[in-house]
Amino acid sequence: MPKVIFHHDNGETDVVESPDGTSVMKVALQNAVAGIVGECGGQAMCATCHVYVRDGYLDRLPEISEDEEEMLECTAASRDETHSRLGCQVVLGPDLEEVEVDVPGSQI
């Protein structure tokens, strides 16, 4: 099964397996991973599922849509031009069997 590796500020790591079609935000919420809020349920509307995607996975992600782009300008932790994405827009599947992300210190 595909998996997401969440790295936290305090050095701890969560490794969570989840079926194809699940977003990084949903993986976090369904498994009580700390630091991901996901207020809007995945509409690219709230900017509270911000993650920094690690090198090595970036070229497998979809393009940043206009909605995601404007939300990335509204994140609580500062945006990283290369690595910042919304967890709700990063979806596990055949093109993304594994992804490793850093969870920001703040979402609100």
Partner 1 sequence: MTVDTTHPRSIPSADWVTIPDLYADPYPIYRHLRAESPIHWVPAVDRYLVIGYEACHTIELDQERFTADETNSLMKRSMGHSMLRKDDPEHDVERKAYGGVLRPKAIKQQWTRVFEQSFSTYLGRLREAGPGADLVTEFAAPFAAENLRVIMGFENATQEDLQRWSQTLIDGTGNYADDPDVWAAAERSSHEVDVAIDEMLPILRDRPNGSLLSALGASGMPLEPLRANFKMTIGGGLNEPRDAIATTAWALLSHPTQLASVVADGRWSDAFEESIRWVAPISMYPREATRDTELCGLHIPQGARLGIAIGAANRDPDVFVDAESYDIDRPRKPHLAFGGGNHFCAGAWVARASVVNVALPGLFRELPGLRLDPDRSARCGGWVFRGVTSLPVLWD
Residues that bind partner 1 (CB under 8 A): 29-30, 37, 39-41, 43, 45-46, 48, 66-67, 70-71, 73-74, 106-108
Residue (18 or 100) nearer to partner 1, CB: 18
Residue (15 or 76) nearer to partner 1, CB: 76
Q: Nearest-CA neighbor of 103 among 18, 42, 34, 2? A: 34
CA dihedral 39, 72, 86, 6 (to 10 degrees): -100
Residue 49 CB, nearest distance to partner 1 (Å)?
A: 11
Residue (89 or 100) nearer to partner 1, CB: 89
Residue 66 CB, nearest distance to partner 1 (Å)?
A: 8
Residue (33 or 71) nearer to partner 1, CB: 71
Residue 11 CB, nearest distance to partner 1 (Å)?
A: 21
Map 4-48 to HEC letters. Answer: EEEECCCCCEEEEECCCCCEHHHHHHHCCCCCCCCCCCCCCCCCC
